Amino acid sequence: MADQDRGVTPSVDMSLASTLESVDNAEELVLKAAQEAGVDEDELHRVGMAVREAMVNAVVHGNRYSANKIVRLTVSIEPDRMTVRITDQGEGFDPVEVPDPLAQENLLRQSGRGILLIRAFVDRFHVRRVEPSGTEVTLVKYLSRPS
């Protein structure tokens, strides 16, 4: 089943303003949820960073700091995974169109590494357009719990 259609009630479901303060708040909320779900310290850092990068994309590139647009953050915990969903109300983007930051000619570009880091730090990453306007990014971290 697709991660966005699993029908799990989120433990966090918030609407956040399009500000850098919301980026910090979202990272903190997700870290708290991840810690409670048993994610270890190194992985916490990686999850937090992935959330931060996705939130920056939503606030800066999606909603462009608009006071009239919000970012929705949901966190769902299941026995085997944590799912974080971040949805903006911007014009949307296609991750395929982001220049490859690992290509030699792009190594010295100042920006464009956020999605690379998200992909590196979570187990699954989906992007989809939402109607009427916006982008929903889903991050999944699988949980390994002591048996």
Q: Which residues form the interface with another protein (CB under 8 A)? A: 20, 23, 45, 49, 52-53, 56, 60, 101-102, 107-111, 113-114, 116-117, 120
If the CB atoms of residues 49 and 130 are measured against another protein, the closer one turns out to be 49
Least distance from another protein to the Cβ atom of residue 2, Å: 27
If the CB atoms of residues 2 and 102 are measured against another protein, the closer one turns out to be 102
If the CB atoms of residues 67 and 107 are measured against another protein, the closer one turns out to be 107
Least distance from another protein to the Cβ atom of residue 11, Å: 25
DSSP string computed for the chain: --GGGS-PPPSEEEEEESSHHHHHHHHHHHHHHHHHTT--HHHHHHHHHHHHHHHHIIIIIISTT-TT-EEEEEEEEETTEEEEEEE--SS---GGGS--TTSGGGTT-SS--HHHHHHHHSSEEEEEE-SSS-EEEEEEEE-----
If the CB atoms of residues 8 and 120 are measured against another protein, the closer one turns out to be 120
Least distance from another protein to the Cβ atom of residue 120, Å: 5
Least distance from another protein to the Cβ atom of residue 78, Å: 27
